[in-house]
Chains A and B, each alone.
Chain A
C-alpha cells in the first residue's frame, strides 16, 4: 500500500522535530509545574518545601497582576494596529514606481535587523531622552517644554518602540501580497473608473486579508513575550504603568529570584496565552484555510 507507506514515512519524518519540541516543551514545563508548587527561592536555599497553591495565589494577588494583563493586551493590540495600518500604508507607498525603490525598501526594513535591547537603548537615549533626545531637540526648536516620554507616556513609548521594530515585518509580508495582486484586475478596475478608495476597499483590502491574518498571528506570538524593551527603558514603571505579564514574571524570577513564584506566573501566562491563541485561531484562522 503506497499510501500506508507514505503515511508511515510522513510520521517518521515528522518525528524528530515533534519529539524534540515535545521534550523541549514537556521537560521544562514539568519542572516549572513542579517548582510552581514549591517554596523555592534561589536566595534562601535549604528552605524548599511544598507550597500547595500558595505561589499561584501569591502571583495572582500581586498588586500589579491585573494591570499587567491589561498592559499586555494594550501592548499587543497597540502594536498590531500601528504595524498593520502602517504596514499597509508603507506597502502601498513602496509599490509605487519611484526612483531608488530598492534602496528605499532597504531603509524601511532595516529596523527589523536591530536587536531588541539595542533598539530600546537607541530610542531611550538618542530619540526620546528628555534632555538629549532628538524629540527634545525638536521640542526646544519650537520653544515647547520637552516631553519626558518614559515618565509621562510609558506604555505608549514602549508601543512606539516595539511597533518600529515590527513595522518592517508587516510591511514586507503585505508588500509581497500586494505585488501578487493581478495587475490586470487593477487595470480593469481603473478602467471602470473606480477611484482609489473604492479600489482599495473592494479589491486591495480583501486581497490582503490573508496576509493581515498572518501578520497578526505571528506578531501576536512574539508580542505576548515582550519584556526586553521594558527592562531597558522604564523598568515597568512609573508605578506599574508599563509592567506587562512577561515583565512581571521576569521581575519575580530575576529580581526576587523567586523560582517558585515565577514558575507559577509562567504557568498562568501559558494558560492565558493559549486562551488568546485559541480565540485568535477561531477569529482569524479560517482566513488561513482555503
Chain B
C-alpha cells in the first residue's frame, strides 16, 4: 500500500484508532493502576493516578510465594506445547501432503474431542491420575494440557502446511531427496513461521487454562491459575490486592505476547488467507 496519505488524515486516524485501542486495553490498564493504590484509594471512585504504593505486592508475596507457581506455569505451558507440537507435526504433515478421503473426518473428530465438558470427565480423570501417581505432578498436568490442546495444534499446523506448495516437495523428490531429508531440509524451514505461531498461541492457551491446572494440583505443580484462586474472594477490602495478584498472574504472558506478536500473527491464519 504505497498510497500517499495526507498528514491530516493520518492524524485523524491515529486519534480514532488510539481511542478505540485504549478503550479495549482499559480494563487491564486500570487493574495495573489499581494495584499501586491503597485499599482505601481503590474504592474511592475513579482515579487514574495511584499513590504508587507497592504494599499490595509485598502483601501478596508474603502471603503466597509468586516464584514457584510462576515457574510451574512456564514449565507446564511450554512443556505441554512443545510435546504437543512434536507429536502433531508428523500428523499434520501427513494430513496435508497425503490426504485421504477420511482426513477431513479425522480432523473434525479431533476437534470434537474438545467439546467434552471438563467437569463431566473430572472424576474419571482424577481416578486415573490417582492410580498413575500423577496428581500434583508437573508431568501429569503437562500431559493433560498437551492432550487438551493437541487438536488445535494439529489443526493449526495442518492449515499452515497446506499452504506450502506441493510442487516444491515434488521437485525435491525428483532430486532424490529422501522423505527424511524432505522433512528436515525442505519442509521445516518453510514451516517455521507456522510452527512458531502455533507454539505461541498454544503457550497462551495452556498458560490460561484454569480448570485442570487447579483440579489436578495442590502444591508442587500448582501454577499461576491456582495462585490467583488464592486471592479471588477474601475478607475485607481486596480490590488493590486482587489487582496486584492479577497483574502478577498476567504480566509474564502479556509481555511475551507483546514481544512475539509479529511471530504470533504471521502463522495465525488457520488457512484463512489465500
B98 within 8 A of partner (CB): yes
Question: How far is it, in angstroms, between the C-alpha of A6 and the C-alpha of B183 when the chains are bound?
Answer: 13
Q: Which residue of A lies closest to B111 (CB)?
A: A221
Stretch touching chain B among A43-51, A194-202, A265-273: A265-273
Verify A266–B121 contact, CB threshold 8 A. yes
What per-residue 1/0 map shows which CB atoms of A94-108 lie under 8 Å from chain B? 101111110011111
A115-B225, A187-B3 as given contacts; A172 in contact with B268, CB under 8 Å:
yes
Chain B residues contacting A168 (CB-CB under 8 Å) are: 24
Q: Does A177 count as interface, using CB distance less than 8 angstroms?
A: yes
**Residues of chain B within 8 A of A265, CB atoms compared:** 117, 120
Contact of B270 among A98, A218, A267 (CB under 8 A): A218
Knowing A116-B208, A266-B116, the reply to whether A106 touches B250 (Cβ < 8 A) is no
Would you list which residues of chain A between 154 and 173 have a CB under 8 Å from chain B? 164, 167-168, 172-173
Q: Is B71's CB within 8 Å of the partner chain A?
A: no
Contact, CB under 8 Å: B24 / A253: no
Contact A263 B120 (CB under 8 A): yes
Complex CA distance for A81 and B13, rounded to whole angstroms = 25
Instruction: For the complex formed, measure the closest distance between the CB of A108 and the CB atoms of chain B, giving whole angstroms.
Output: 5
Stretch at the interface among B49-57, B59-67, B88-96: B88-96
Which residues of chain B from 89 to 121 have any CB-CB distance to chain A below 8 Å in the complex? 90-91, 93-95, 97-98, 100, 106, 108, 110-121
User: In whole angstroms, what is the CA distance A16 to B208 when docked?
Assistant: 26
Tally of chain A residues near chain B (CB < 8 A): 106
Closest chain B CB from A45 CB (angstroms): 12
Contact with A along B28-64 (1 / 0, CB 8 A): 1011001000000011011000000000000000000
Instruction: Give Cα distance in the complex from A35 to B118, angstroms.
Output: 15
B125 contacts A118, CB within 8 Å?
Answer: no
Which of the 9-residue segments B134-142, B147-155, B184-192 touches chain A? B147-155
Number of chain B residues close to chain A: CB under 8 A? 94
Contacts of A254 in B (CB 8 A): 119, 122
Q: Is the interface of B mostly helix, strand, loop or mixed?
A: helix
A116, A122, A175, A222 interface centre (most CB from chain B within 10 Å): A122
- What mask results when residues 193 to 209 of chain B are scored 1 for a CB within 8 Å of chain A, else 0? 00000000000100110
Known A42-B123, A164-B27, A265-B120; judge A115-B207 contact (CB<8 A).
yes
A245 to nearest B CB, angstroms? 8
Q: Nearest Cβ in chain A — how far from B97, in angstroms? A: 7
Do B20 and A93 touch (CB < 8 A)?
A: yes
Of B46, B98, B122, B273, the contact of A177 (CB 8 Å cutoff): B273
* A90 partner residues in chain B, CB cutoff 8 A: 20
Q: Which residues of A contact B (CB under 8 A)?
A: 6-7, 9-11, 13-18, 20-21, 24-25, 27-29, 31-32, 35, 42, 90, 93-94, 96-101, 104-119, 121-123, 125-127, 131-132, 134, 137-138, 140-141, 164, 167-168, 172-173, 175-177, 180, 183, 186-187, 210-211, 213-215, 218, 221-222, 224-225, 227-228, 232, 245-246, 249-250, 252-254, 259, 262-263, 265-267, 269-270, 273-274, 277, 281, 288, 290
Give 19 new A-B contacts, CB below 8 A, not counting A9-B94, A110-B258: A10-B97, A10-B98, A13-B91, A13-B93, A14-B106, A17-B154, A21-B147, A98-B14, A105-B261, A111-B28, A112-B257, A118-B228, A131-B43, A177-B269, A180-B274, A214-B271, A228-B211, A252-B119, A253-B123
Task: Jot down 8 A-B pairs with beta carbons below 8 A, ordered by A.
Answer: A16-B87, A35-B124, A93-B13, A99-B10, A104-B17, A126-B27, A141-B46, A253-B120
- Give the 7 A-B CB pairs with smallest separation, nearest first: A266-B120, A13-B90, A10-B94, A31-B124, A273-B115, A10-B98, A211-B272
